[in-house]
Amino acid sequence: MVRALFEQVTDAIVVSEPDGAIVDANAPALQLFGYAHGELMGQAIDRVLPERLRARRKDGSELDVEVVSREVDGVVVSFVRDASRYLSAALAHDFNNVLAVILARCELLAGDDAAAIRTAAETGRSLVRQLLAFGRRPTGTPQLVAVTPAIERFARMLRLGDRIELLLDLAADGGAVRIDEVQLQQVLLNLALNARDAMLDGGRLTLSTRRHRDRVEVIVTDTGIGITDEQRARIFEPFYTTKDRGTGLGLATVADIVRQAGGTIEVTSAPGQGATFRLSFPRAEAAGTLPPPLREPLEEGGEKVLLVDDDELVLRALEAMLARSGYQVIAKRSGDDAIAAARDQPIDALVTDIIMPRTSGFAIAEALRALHPTAKVLYLSGYGDLPAERIGDGASFLAKPFSAAELLRELRTLLDRA
């Protein structure tokens, strides 16, 4: 059990002797520092943690980290977290709560002003999802994806304006890779938008695929202004940008997703010569399919719903959204109050935030199921996706922020599930 937890946590963990010799490290630590397990064993811990708030990778690069160390049974256990990733995830959570309120309240309004606010909030949601994709390990579900058909689907949706010509140079059998297709589309979209911004006077964007014996390549080439050597050296750094209004997260997210899929990414460019991004992935054996789409949302219901969120603004916005659609809503800000309310009446569904003071959404769900075993549970969170194994039977998950249609569809689908 302890070993399983050691390997499953997303934070890097390094175990060392009192004299500093490293005796164990989990997979996130190996990824963070760039070492194979055997290479790191026996090394002095100050080789990778020369200072309390600095870490050094195998390639010599350094990054800011947060380190918490504890002595346990004669060894020192150090938890290491990339500081920039922690900051982006925390900011994303707070922004998501704000956007959840804005989107929910927009559903109660009408007219052009409400539409404009909704559009701005959707733009903010897209940015927050980039923060989350960078701020934690990607949590999509890897599947076998045929690369050429996936890029063809992406190209049909891509809109870059009349001055950008899109060319496809795709191998008939481009091979398959193991990756979440939504994340692959995010990679392609970020690269395409960067290419568009580099071609202010118009130009050509080419998407290519190549299949090799054990690798699959995706190549994105533009005819833009190109990239200097100095820029290329920093192009994948989080928050680094050359744009006046850039976030510096797009290419950092691209690199993170590609690495998590076991791939590599290389850039060739020169000022005035355009740029080529070459993504190389391990080749998989066969192609899979995307999960079937959800049915059309049913916007009404009459069931009794217990709603829990410690943020008052979010709680009241969601309460109004559900009540307007016919649900009987019991809204509470704490787990204790929610469970007390559930003791006195039947509950058909629990809609709860996950991270809250004192009592988590998981604990509330467990207590509710003891009282009402057939109650369904819809978990909400501003921290991004939730691994499927954490959701459980008779439950579902929705990442903040979301529209009324998304919430009502997810809740209706959950309640109708046998």
Cβ atoms of 201 and 268 closer than 8 Å:
no
Closest to 372 (Cα-Cα) out of 390, 357, 394: 394
239 pLDDT exceeds 80? no
Hey, what CATH topology would domain 2-82 get? Answer: Beta-Lactamase (3.30.450)
Look at residue 294 in the predicted model and tell me its pLDDT: 38
Tell which CATH architecture fits domain 304-416: 3-Layer(aba) Sandwich (3.40)
Mean pLDDT computed over 125-149: 64
Q: Please provide the average confidence, as pLDDT, over all residues in the chain.
A: 79
The span from the CA of 382 to the CA of 230, in Å, is 36
Q: How many CA atoms are closer than 13 Å to the CA of 328, on its beta-carbon side?
A: 7
The span from the CA of 362 to the CA of 352, in Å, is 9
Beta bridge partners of 228: none
pTM of the full structure: 0.43
Closest to 310 (Cα-Cα) out of 230, 382, 387: 382
Tell which CATH architecture fits domain 143-282: 2-Layer Sandwich (3.30)
User: What's the alpha-carbon Rg for the chain, to the nearest Å?
Assistant: 24
Look at residue 4 in the predicted model and tell me its pLDDT: 47
**The two three-digit tokens of residue 285, written as one number:** 């054996």
Lowest-confidence pick of 106-120, 198-212, 270-284 = 106-120
Element holding 13 (H helix, E strand): strand 12-16
Q: How confident is the model at residue 153 (pLDDT cuts 50, 70, 90)?
A: confident
Q: How confident is the model at residue 318 (pLDDT cuts 50, 70, 90)?
A: confident
Q: How confident is the model at residue 276 (pLDDT cuts 50, 70, 90)?
A: very high
Look at residue 298 in the predicted model and tell me its pLDDT: 41
For 54-79, the pLDDT digits (tens) are 788 888 888 777 787 778 778 888 88
241 pLDDT exceeds 80? no
CB burial of residue 327 (10 Å; 0-12, 13-18, 19+): buried
Q: How confident is the model at residue 230 (pLDDT cuts 50, 70, 90)?
A: confident
**The two three-digit tokens of residue 262, written as one number:** 């076991």
